Each structure stands twice: as C-alpha cells, then as structure tokens.
Amino acid sequence: MKRESIRDAKRPLPYVLLAYMITMAIAFLIVTVAPRERGTFARYAAITLGFAAAFSMPLVRRYLERLRGRVLTAGGSWPTWPGWRVTGSTIAAWLMRLVVANAVIIGGAALIYAWSKSAPAPASLPEPAATIYGVAWQCGWLWLMIWTVFRCLLAFGDAQRGFLTVMRGMLARIVMLTLASVAICKFSPMLVTLIQEMEARPHATFATAIGLLVVYGVFRFVDRWIDLPVRQYTIARAAIAEVRASVSESRRRQRTESEVRRTAVHEAGHALLYAAMPSLPENFVVKVFWDLGPNDRYRGFVRSAANCQTAQVESVSHWKMLFDLAGTVAEKIVYGVRADGAVEDNTRWTRAAQEYLACGYGEVYFEEPATELEAECNQRALNRLKSAHYEVLETFLDANRALLDELADRLVTDGELDHKGIAPYLAQVTFTQAVRPLPSESIV
C-alpha cells in the first residue's frame, strides 16, 4: 500500500470546499423559498427524491459502464436478465443480512404503520402539539435535503459505495423523521399535558431537563466507550483467532529439499532482475521457507521497501512487469514446467500491464471498453505483451542459467539473503538486448 503524502492529502480539499459552497447555495434557496408555503409530505419527498435522482443517474451509469468494461476485459460476457441464476439459499441469506443490517429502519417503518392507524390527523392537533409537529416536520425535511445534497456531492469520489451509503442514510432519516412526526400525533395529549405542567412548574422542568441530560450522558458514555457486548464479541473473536493460529503453528509441515529448491529457483529468478536497478535497496530480502502452516500464503518472497513503485516512467514500468514474470519463467527453464506458486505474480503483472498499455506505452488499449470489439482488442494486446515478456525473460535467464542455479543453491542452504548477500550474485549478471541497466534518472 502506498503511503499517502501531504500532497495527496491536500488534493481533495478544493473538492470538499466546492461541495460545501454548492450545498450552502442550495440550502439558501430552500430556506428562502420553502417557508412561503406550508409543504406536504409528497412535496418535500418529491424535492428530496428529485435531488437524489439527479445525482444518482450519472453515478450509476458510470459505475455500470466500468463494471461492464471490466467483465468484458476479463473475458466474460455481460449478462441480461435471463442470464442471472441465483439459488434460493443465496437469496434467503442475502435477505437475512439485509434485515439484520437495517433492523432499525424496518422497525421504524413497522411502528409508523402501527401508530398511523390510531394517530389523529395533524390538522386536528391542539395548539402546542401542532406547533411541535410543524417545527419538527419543516425543519426535519429542510435538514434532510441539505444533508442529502452535501452527501451526494461528496459521493462522486466513490460512485459505488459512496452513493449507496448516501441512499441508505437518506432512507433511515426519512423513516425516523416520519416516525417522530407520527409519534407527535399519536401522543399529542401527553405532550399537551407535559407542556401545561412545564408552564405551571418551571423549576421542576429545569430539574427534569438536568436529569434527562444526566441519563443521556451516561448512556452516551456507555455506547461510545464501553459498549460491552461488542467489546466482548471482539475479544472472543480475537481469542478464537489466537487459538486457531497456535493450532496452525503446531501443525506446520516440513517441506522436502526438492520443494524448497523449486521455490528457491522461483525467487532467484525474481531476484536477478534487481541487477538492472541503479542501486540495491538496503532493506532488500529474498527468502524461502522450509516449513509451512495451513494459513501461510507464501512459500518464499523477494521484498524491498517499495519494489520501485515510486517511479512510473516507461522503463521502470516495463521492469516491474518483467520482475513479476521472472519467477515462473525461471521454473520453466530449470524444470521444464511451471508450478502453481505464481498466482499473485500473474495478478500483479496483469494489473501493471493494463496500466502500462493505458498510458500509451504499447499497443492501442481501451481503459474502459464499451464494446466487445474493444474488449477483444484489449485481450489481444495483453496476450501479445505477455508473450513478448516471456521471450525476453527466457533469453535473459538462459544467459544467466549457471548464476540462477548457483543463487538457488545458496537460498536452499541459507534460507534468506539480504542486500549484502545478494550483491555478489547481481554483480555477475549478464545483460541482454532487452534487459538492460536502468538509468539512475529513471528512479524518481
């Protein structure tokens, strides 16, 4: 993961400031226009949903286009409705998660339905309750519209998760605001009595308010800092994870020398590419494992601070792709066949190759293919680039075959080499026409 710089942190600030300005402008228009006429539920709902629809359509369309492009690029087909096949158990599990995640919203909607049957109409409320209802209803919808506009403006940065979060938050606020309004109508006699008592006994009212603040503070403290059930659940999960980890460690399997040597050949192929770097990172490490646990993801690795991720010039981007494929090509040269230890290497190469072609360094490539023809063009460009890289690496590693075997033997013996241990081997590397030392100015 790249470390966020101060420059990256400042980059979204103008965007947030613009969102604030647009939100305040719309809020000013709402404040000056809406109070002129007492609105109805349908009127305010239409205004809010209109804002949401206006912001949602471009975001949804952009997200679907990107998703379609990714599916077509990966070799899949974009399904229509008859193409979807979902099992009953999958639907049931999805509905259960939906209900659990939105229990408060669903419960609020149920209370609205139950209380609205017996609640008096807002027009028939006595004066104190009618005032409370009017203030809560008008201010609530005003605040909801301001909140929706601002959140939608900020959701442009993440069209999928950001806008879905806005929609869920807007739905929850609509339900809770409606529930509060129905509750005011339902319990209006109690509100009138309470207001009369407050007018008759102001000192008792002040004492009651202090008591309510104390109760709120206690429960707020508990919810925020203690939250015992959640903490206990988290602690229990952590304890279970530790037990599983200890059990996994106790079941570590010793690998045979032939298994370790194949891993050493793979990692040595990666490591030899570092000979092209202007300087070797001091925290460089190449390692192979003699034992593996059930949860171990790697049999070995080559690691440095950033693997040259800070530079994005063409020569370094090309080097990164060669580095990703060097391990599996080394296995092919030594053993004649490749093993299954290059899944993440291939994933990294595919991602780097897509960025490489999208920058215009190679063949024509469509970053967001809109048709199947464009997706096929992308697939052919990736396949040709990968074949070319295999040929380049086969030539390079064939020229350094003896050094590859020597480095693999050293890794089998020592298990791990740092930058000082690998340096003598990299100094003996024979470069080829396609694998040349990178100029120092290419490393930014």
pLDDT tens digit sequence for 427-436: 898 998 888 8
- Which residue reads 């707020």 in tokens? 220
The residue-averaged pLDDT of 74-100 equals 55
The residue-averaged pLDDT of 375-404 equals 90
Of 324, 316, 384, 317, which is closest to residue 348 (Cα–Cα)?
324
The answer on pLDDT for 83 being more than 50 is no
Mapping DSSP to helix (H, G, I), strand (E, B) and coil, where does residue 288 land? strand
Tokens of residue 162, six digits: 């950001």
In this structure, how many other beta carbons lie within 10 angstroms of the beta carbon of residue 405?
A: 15
Interior CA angle at 160 toward 158 and 166, to 5°? 80
The residue-averaged pLDDT of 378-389 equals 89
The residue-averaged pLDDT of 7-17 equals 52
Class of domain 255-442: mainly alpha
d(CA 66, CA 120): 50
- Please answer whether residues 151 and 169 qualify as being in contact, where contact means their C-beta atoms are separated by less than 8 angstroms: yes
Mapping DSSP to helix (H, G, I), strand (E, B) and coil, where does residue 287 land? strand
Return the minimum-mean-pLDDT range out of 72-76, 93-97, 263-267: 72-76
Q: What is the pLDDT of residue 2?
A: 39
Burial 146-156 (b: 16+ CB within 10 A, else e): bbbbbbbbbbe
Among 9-13, 220-224, 240-244, 373-377, the range with the most confident prediction by mean pLDDT is: 373-377
Q: What is the dihedral of CA 246, 248, 250, 252, to 10 degrees?
A: -140
- Please answer whether residues 374 and 227 qualify as being in contact, where contact means their C-beta atoms are separated by less than 8 angstroms: no
pLDDT tens digit sequence for 321-357: 899 888 888 888 888 877 776 778 888 888 888 888 8
Of 397, 402, 421, 443, which is closest to residue 286 (Cα–Cα)?
421
pLDDT tens digit sequence for 189-214: 888 887 887 778 877 777 777 877 88
The ranges assigned to domains in the chain are 6-76+89-186, 255-442
The residue-averaged pLDDT of 73-88 equals 48
Mapping DSSP to helix (H, G, I), strand (E, B) and coil, where does residue 5 land? coil
Return the minimum-mean-pLDDT range out of 131-135, 209-213, 276-280, 370-374: 209-213
Tokens of residue 211, six digits: 């008591």
The residue-averaged pLDDT of 34-55 equals 52
Give me the half-sphere count of Cα atoms (radius 13 Å) on the Cβ side of residue 235.
Answer: 7
Any bridge partners for residue 285, and if so which? 303, 418
pTM for this model (two decimals):
0.46
Amino acid identity at 266: H
Q: What is the pLDDT of residue 74?
A: 54
The answer on pLDDT for 145 being more than 50 is yes
pLDDT interval class at 309 (50, 70, 90): very low
pLDDT interval class at 14 (50, 70, 90): low
Q: Kindly give the pairing relationship between strand 291-292 and strand 253-254.
A: antiparallel
Q: Provide the mean pLDDT of the chain.
A: 73
Which of residues 104 and 171 earns the better pLDDT score? 171
Q: What is the pLDDT of residue 390?
A: 92
Which of residues 12 and 254 earns the better pLDDT score? 254
Q: What is the pLDDT of residue 391?
A: 92
Q: pLDDT above 90 covers what percent of the chain?
A: 4
The answer on pLDDT for 37 being more than 50 is no
DSSP letter assigned to residue 253:
E
Q: What is the pLDDT of residue 24?
A: 60
The answer on pLDDT for 166 being more than 80 is no
The residue-averaged pLDDT of 259-271 equals 89
d(CA 398, CA 429): 11
d(CA 283, CA 303): 8
